[in-house]
Amino acid sequence: MLCLTELFLPTAFVAFMMGLSAFAVAGISLFLPYLNIQIFLWMVLSILLVLLSRRLVPKGKARAIEDSQEAKTLTEIPPGETGRVIYEGNSWQARCEDTSAAIPPNQNVIVVGRKGTTLIVVPENLLHS
């Protein structure tokens, strides 16, 4: 069950809840010396804490891209498809804002937005024309 929650929640969050459950079970173990019951209790508490506290954690919004910033294409960005760009020192998936335009590799582009983990870019020369 915990492995399935990893698909929907950040790993650090689940690990933190598992740690809290371990502390709770450590306290309970003073009165309940049976290891198999302690393990079962730890698993149940971990799952409950993850599911119940998920509502308390604010949903993170994607960081907005302030102003237009430069990036450089690593691969070609075919029309209507995605390619790779280097942006702030990291490789990102990118799509051209103009779905009919292709952007060759090693070309400077301007990041105009972000949709999920995909940057929306336009060729730099298109803006300066």
Per-residue pLDDT band for 77 (boundaries 50, 70, 90) equals very high
0.85 cut: is pTM over it? Answer: no
In a shared domain, residues 74 and 118: yes
- Is 61 part of any domain? no
The 10s digit of each residue's pLDDT in 20-30 is 899 899 999 99
Express each pLDDT in 80-98 by its tens digit: 899 999 998 888 999 998 8
Structural domain includes residue 73: yes
Number of domains in the chain: 2
Convert the pLDDT of each residue in 110-127 to its tens digit: 998 888 889 999 998 876
Residue 103 β-bridge partners: 77
Residue 102 belongs to what domain range?
Answer: 69-124
Which one has a higher pLDDT value, 89 or 61? 89
Alpha helices per DSSP H over the chain: 2-5, 11-28, 35-53, 124-127
Q: Identify which of 97, 120, 122, 118 has the alpha carbon closest to the alpha carbon of residue 108.
A: 122
Q: What is the structure's pLDDT at 67?
A: 56
Residue 52, pLDDT above cutoff 60: yes
Bridge partner list, 5? none
